């Protein structure tokens, strides 16, 4: 090109290379299995159901397998009734590719699912938004978005497959993980995606009513009990729910979803916690932070994980002992990080 000035070529719009790999896998295969984490909530189910609808629209076979049941308030999402448990596998179940969604590691899908995925020897596509993701897939599409469902939206856009049902599922994922655009992870992209999804026909109000306004009597009684019995000390607020309390209030473990968020609304609280006694001598601890303290580091210390502002872990031991142990560790860390 001597003597001539090279004309600059216009920049080619950059498509995410990992997204391209996923698209190739989708195009080259016919049968897909999808799964997500234990105790599936809006982002997990919204992601899985949206991806299944996308695959079906492309003429592919897609099955969602989950170890735990779909919570009542998420059954409005299209396709939720078709989700299978690993115990009821269809005959000749032989997916060519596994999608594992919204899971920082494969264990999050539960033991039975993890075993099934690994035993199949098929490629795993790991789509997740947790920063501590272990990159356990052959393809790892891990990006820091408010909700994993936004990564499914990226895929839908790249494949040019979207309809009101797909949009509603993805929208539910964003609402769930931002707690209706209130959590600190709510950013411009989450709002832009939400707006774009509404333009694609997402039924925003249906999502809000199902996620927030279908509380059970047990849940409201549990909320009342928790507010009356909450312990408040400096910048901590917490409550401990024994199995006896659940029984007395006629409440189930699914009734606790918003309790810890409510404890965090107290002015001056930096960390809110909920201790929940499970079967088999274990305690589930849920953490919520406000104002920058990273609760996922505390959860990780006890073998759990999650996001900076919302995390959890399960600890073996008696309720009061676990409560004391976690609070001591938390106080130590809070003291070391005065705002």
Q: Which among 37-45, 190-198, 227-235, 327-335 is the span making contact with Mn ion, rule CB under 5 A?
A: 37-45
Dihedral angle computed from the Cα positions of residues 41, 43, 44 and 46, in that order, rounded to the nearest 10 degrees: 100
Q: Which residue is nearest to Mn ion (CB)?
A: 43
With CA atoms as reference, report the closest residue to 330 among 271, 269, 276, 264: 271
- Which position among 34, 148, 222, 237 is part of the footprint of Mn ion (CB under 5 A)? 148
Contact between 41 and Mn ion by CB under 5 A: the answer reads no
* Percent composition of the chain: helix, strand, coil (DSSP 3-state, to 5): 45, 15, 35
Tell me the β-bridge partners of 236: 233, 271
- Which residue lies nearer to Mn ion by CB, 101 or 236? 101
Taking residues 46 to 85 in sequence order and writing x for each that binds Mn ion by CB under 5 A, - otherwise, the string is ----------------------------------------
- Which position among 19, 66, 73, 177 is part of the footprint of Mn ion (CB under 5 A)? 177
CA distances, 130 to each of 34, 302, 308, 324 (Å): 18, 17, 10, 28
Residue 104 in tokens: 């920082």
With CA atoms as reference, report the closest residue to 308 among 109, 129, 78: 129
Q: Which among 35-43, 116-124, 203-211, 244-252 is the span making contact with Mn ion, rule CB under 5 A?
A: 35-43
Contact between 257 and Mn ion by CB under 5 A: the answer reads no
The site that binds Mn ion (CB under 5 A) totals a number of residues, namely 4
Q: Which among 38-46, 164-172, 263-271, 331-339 is the span making contact with Mn ion, rule CB under 5 A?
A: 38-46
Contact 100, 117 (CB under 8 A): yes
Q: Which among 9-17, 87-95, 98-106, 263-271 is the span making contact with Mn ion, rule CB under 5 A?
A: 98-106
CA distances, 145 to each of 22, 149, 189 (Å): 18, 9, 8
Minimum CB separation from Mn ion for residue 2, in Å?
Answer: 55
Contact between 43 and Mn ion by CB under 5 A: the answer reads yes
- Which residue lies nearer to Mn ion by CB, 170 or 237? 170
- Which residue lies nearer to Mn ion by CB, 177 or 257? 177
Handedness of CA 118, 121, 127, 130 (dihedral sign): positive
Per-residue b or e along 278-309, where b marks 16 or more CB atoms closer than 10 Å to that residue's CB: eeeeebbbbbbbbeebbbbebbeebebbbbbb
Give the pairing of strands 282-289 and 236-241. Answer: unpaired
Instruction: Residue 3: count other Cβ atoms within 10 Å of its Cβ.
Output: 4
Please give the Cα distance from 309 to 269 (Å, whole number): 13
Minimum CB separation from Mn ion for residue 33, in Å?
Answer: 20
Please give the Cα distance from 44 to 47 (Å, whole number): 5
Minimum CB separation from Mn ion for residue 132, in Å?
Answer: 13
Minimum CB separation from Mn ion for residue 299, in Å?
Answer: 15
Contact between 102 and Mn ion by CB under 5 A: the answer reads yes
- Which residue lies nearer to Mn ion by CB, 41 or 323? 41
The helix/strand count (H/E) of the chain reads as 12, 11
- Which residue lies nearer to Mn ion by CB, 30 or 132? 132
- Which residue lies nearer to Mn ion by CB, 147 or 283? 147
- Which residue lies nearer to Mn ion by CB, 139 or 146? 146
Q: Which among 29-37, 136-144, 146-154, 263-271 is the span making contact with Mn ion, rule CB under 5 A?
A: 146-154
* Residues of this chain that bind Mn ion (CB under 5 A): 43, 102, 148, 177
């Amino acid at each position: 090109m001597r003597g001539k000035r090279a004309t600059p070529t216009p920049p080619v719009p950059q498509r995410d290379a990992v997204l391209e790999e996923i698209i190739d896998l989708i195009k080259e295969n016919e049968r897909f299995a999808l799964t997500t984490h234990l105790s599936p909530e809006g982002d997990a189910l919204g992601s899985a159901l949206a991806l299944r609808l996308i695959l079906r629209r492309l003429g592919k076979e897609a099955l969602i397998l989950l170890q735990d049941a779909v919570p009542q308030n998420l059954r409005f999402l299209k396709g939720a009734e078709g989700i299978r448990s690993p115990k009821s596998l269809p005959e000749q179940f032989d997916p060519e590719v596994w999608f594992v969604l919204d899971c920082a590691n494969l264990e999050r899908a539960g033991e039975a699912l993890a075993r099934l995925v690994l035993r199949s020897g098929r490629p795993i596509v790991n789509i997740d938004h947790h920063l501590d993701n272990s990159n356990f897939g052959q393809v790892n599409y891990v990006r820091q978005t408010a909700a994993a469902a936004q990564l499914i939206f990226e895929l839908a856009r790249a494949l040019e497959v979207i309809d009101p049902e797909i949009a509603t599922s993805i929208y539910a994922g964003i609402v769930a993980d931002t707690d209706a655009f209130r959590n600190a992870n709510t950013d411009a992209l989450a709002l832009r995606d939400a707006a774009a999804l509404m333009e694609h026909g997402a039924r925003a109000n249906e999502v809000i009513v199902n996620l927030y306004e279908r509380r059970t009597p047990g849940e409201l009684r549990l909320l009342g009990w928790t507010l009356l019995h909450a312990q408040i000390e400096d910048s901590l607020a917490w409550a401990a729910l024994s199995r006896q309390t659940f029984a007395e209030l006629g409440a189930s473990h699914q009734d606790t979803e918003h309790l810890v968020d409510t404890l965090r609304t107290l002015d001056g609280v930096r960390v809110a916690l909920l201790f929940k006694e499970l079967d088999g001598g274990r305690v589930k601890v849920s953490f919520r932070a406000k104002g920058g303290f990273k609760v996922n580091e505390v959860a990780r210390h006890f073998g759990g994980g999650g996001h900076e502002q919302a995390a959890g872990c399960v600890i073996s031991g008696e309720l009061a002992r676990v409560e004391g142990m976690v609070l001591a560790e938390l106080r130590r860390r809070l003291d070391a990080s005065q705002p």
